[in-house]
Chains A and B, each alone.
Chain A
Amino acid sequence: MKASDFQALFESAPGLYLVLTPALTIVAVSDAYLKATMTKREEILGRGLFEVFPDNPDDPAATGVRNLRASLDRVLTHRAPDTMAVQKYDIRRPESEGGGFEERYWSPVNSPVLGADGKVAYIIHRVEDVTAFVHLKQSGSEQYRITEELRSRAAEMEAEVFRRAQQIQEVNNQLRTELEARKLAEEALRDSEERFRAVAETATDAIVAADKSGHITYCNPGAERIFGYAARDAIGRPLTLLMPQRFHDAHRQGLARFLTTGEARVVGRTVELVGQRKDGTEFPLELSLASWKVGGDTFFAGILRDITERKRAEELLRASEERFHLMVTHVEDYAIFMLDVEGNVATWNAGAERIKGYRADEIIGRHFSCFYVSYDVQAGKPEQLLQEAVRRGRCEDEGWRVRKDGSQFWANTVITALRDQHRTLLGFTKVTRDITERTRLEQEIQQHSVALEAANKELDAFSYSVAHDLRAPLRAIDGFSRILLEDHAPTLAPEAQHYLNVVRKNSQRMGLLIDDLLAFSRLSRQLLNKQPVRPADLVRQCVDELRAEQQGRRVEIAIGDLPACQADPALLKHVWMNLMSNALKYTRKQEMAVIEVGSREQSGACVYFVKDNGVGFDMQYADKLFGVFQRLHRPEDYEGTGVGLAIVQRVIHRHGGRVWAEAAVNQGATFYFTFEGATPNA
């Protein structure tokens, strides 16, 4: 048969059929149904069931819609047919026949049509119209009058059947609902038990359950780990197993009190207690304890956390906070205090009291603008500083501040905005330093440097004039003595000639002294031009330039490792030049001069040295060695002006270093020097 044939067959079937989608939309209907419900196919297809068949609004007791919906829901849920009790379900009368509702009674069966996926695809709603039967029973028609008694009894029975059917349906519904609820509850319980077990087994905290006698009924692995007992050893033993002896009585009393009076001191809250491990060691723990009753019996479960680390951290934090607090409180050099959001003083330390003159009880609560001079307050400076601190997090200021006694001081202040983790402004910290003294010292230093600069200029002018003017007369003395000796020798007695030579020798020596003195002064004034220097290069240049001194002598110069350094190369060369030329000069009388140049490490610095095997000197005069014009040898033995080592010392001092010597008479001398920027090879 074709599909259209099936449709025709269905529509003309004698039964009353309605086909619904799971959404309760009418998709097919039999002619008999249309006739019984006084509807037309085209008017109801595609429309909702309850839109087409609402309850009779004039019947306040109407239950048709509610019951039918419940039945259809069951079909959808259980995918099984649902037979309904006889229902009063009134039908809307067409307007053409006067409108309103017509009383009807029905006996419905709802059956699911399952799709290929096993889900409900359609619901077939089949009804029997039992109105005539019910009416008959109620109307008392002629036909049945004779058997009225019988019929009335039958009618009573029918009505009774109808009522009973309704009641049974109600009970059934209730039972069904209850069953479903219980099933859900069981599932939920099973789920929650599994969840609890999973949580308990993996928790790092100890979870311990006990019965009302205080005996352990459950221990999780966390508890085994923390207390050191295997679960099988702990289960069945009293809870006192897990606590030190001195708490046993209190525990027992607390348990008894709770069981008899319900007074809970521990149950239902989190408390800190002392636990005891299997090995006897005690540790702080945090306990959250719950209790419940099953069938009149009380049970307990506790979550215990080992808080040793937390306690230690808390203690450290507390100690550090206390130290910090003590430090802030007792700091005297700085005023450290806090302001609330409005700028009122909230805390006060010793430094604040010392610097500003207020005691804590005099100032706390007052606005901090009282620390500012009147013109700053009028200009709104305190508020501006707070606003800047709010905007930038911090603001620094320098200026005059007022003490309690009205005196002023020059202050440096830093205001920092304090915020919590949500960036909410909590207030400010303010640190004030009295820098009046520092400012005064700075000004003093400034004055000193001006004076020093003036002195330097004077010295400069002095040296300049020495350079020009002191040498000219010497030149004249020497020059004219020479001319006398040369041009007038025949008329001069030999003694006179000798004296003239003495005059010349001395004027020349004075020329040398002036030259060296000027050189020394120049080295002191010259600006340092520090750069990387290789001392080995400088030493080789010096040896080269001192070649004349080595002429006709046996000289052995050994140059060792000389690490590079940071120095002014021109000035440093003077150092090497003077030391090398001294070494050559004072070994002059040795058959073989041996000079060693090298370096060694001393307390992380590089110390350079020049060692010779020359005449040496007596160490008791070592302190005179580096003075200007100081000499330890007679000029006829070793020439010189006594300025060379003074130059060495001046240059080394200018490099932030020091120079010293070790020597003994006729056993040679070693000169050492080191300075900032002289570092050993890495």
Chain B
Amino acid sequence: MREKTLEILLVEDNPDDVELTLHAFQKHNLANHVHVVRDGAEALDFLFCTGAYKDRRIENSPSLVLLDLKLPKVDGLEVLRRMKEDPRTQMIPVVVLTSSREDRDIMESYQLGVNSYIVKPVNFEQFTEAVRQIKLYWLLMNEPPPIPREPK
């Protein structure tokens, strides 16, 4: 059984962006279900239950990962690649939430199997609206993948 039903992993290094994002989630009563990691290495530890997260159970995967691309240590595309390569994490929906509108970022993200690519708007109303849409689509409308069984 899942311990928590709605859990969002927010991978974001910029503290202001973290605060703005959480503010937006708060408006939609989601803030308590968001876990924030501040770089790519920490994101991988969380997802694969290693390092600081070695006591976490991998079956309790988050329902959604919001991933920035430009991150310290390990960048967002690498996190995405590792997730989609591993059968235990490849079914978790990943939404890239970034400032970059560069073609190569968009292209590479989709090639690695990203589920959605959203450019963070400068305008705060638009940003909150984007966060609301993400919640609506990925957490309410989208049928999540079945819970993986214990590996034999």
Q: Measuring CB to CB, which residues of chain A are less than 8 angstroms from any residue of chain B?
A: 463-464, 467-469, 471-476, 478-483, 504, 507-508, 510-511, 515, 518, 522, 526
Contact = CB atoms under 8 A, between A and B. Distances in A.
A469 B14 CA distance: 10
Contact of B100 (A464, A482, A483): A464
Contact of A507 (B23, B101, B102, B122): B122
Given A482-B125, A508-B123, A511-B122, A475 B16 contact: yes
Contacts, number: 66
Contacts of A522: 102-103
B124 A515 contact: no
Given A468-B99, A471-B99, 19 more contacts: A464-B102, A467-B102, A471-B122, A472-B14, A472-B99, A474-B122, A475-B17, A475-B122, A475-B124, A475-B127, A476-B20, A479-B20, A479-B124, A483-B20, A483-B23, A483-B124, A508-B123, A518-B101, A522-B103
A463 B102 contact: yes
Interface string B112-152: 00000000111111010000000000000000000000000
B98 interface: yes
B81 to A, nearest CB: 19
25 contacts: A467-B99, A467-B101, A468-B69, A468-B70, A468-B98, A471-B120, A473-B16, A474-B122, A475-B16, A475-B17, A475-B122, A476-B16, A479-B16, A479-B20, A480-B16, A481-B124, A483-B20, A483-B124, A504-B124, A507-B122, A511-B121, A511-B122, A515-B101, A518-B102, A526-B103
A488 to B, nearest CB: 13
Which label, helix, strand, loop or mixed, suits the secondary structure of the B interface?
Answer: loop
Contacts of A508: 122-123
Interface residues of B, number: 20
A479 B101 contact: no
Nearest to B104: A464
Contacts of B121: 475, 511
B113 to A, nearest CB: 22
B78 to A, nearest CB: 16
A518 B104 CA distance: 13
A472 B16 contact: yes
Contacts of B70: 468-469
Which label, helix, strand, loop or mixed, suits the secondary structure of the A interface?
Answer: helix
A16 to B, nearest CB: 129
Interface string B90-117: 0000000011111100000000000000
A467 B127 CA distance: 17
Contacts of A479: 16, 20, 23, 124, 127
Contacts of A482: 124-125
Contacts of B20: 475-476, 479-480, 483
Contacts of A481: 124
A460 to B, nearest CB: 9
Nearest to B13: A472
A468 B100 contact: yes
Contacts of A476: 14, 16-17, 20
> Most A CB atoms within 10 A — which of B16, B122, B124?
B122
B17 A467 contact: no
Interface in B22-71: 23, 69-70
A473 to B, nearest CB: 8
A465 to B, nearest CB: 9
Contact of A478 (B98, B100, B102, B122): B122
Contacts of A471: 99, 120, 122
A472 B17 contact: yes
B127 to A, nearest CB: 7
Nearest to B23: A483
A93 B69 CA distance: 140
Given A476-B17, A476-B20, A479-B20, A511 B123 contact: yes
A475 B102 contact: no
B136 to A, nearest CB: 21
A547 B92 CA distance: 38
A476 B120 CA distance: 11
Contacts of B99: 467-469, 471-472, 475
Contacts of A507: 122
B67 to A, nearest CB: 14
A475 B100 contact: no
Contacts of A467: 99-102
Contacts of B122: 471, 474-475, 478, 507-508, 510-511
Q: Which 3 A-B pairs have the closest CB atoms?
A: A511-B122, A476-B16, A482-B124
Contacts of A518: 101-102
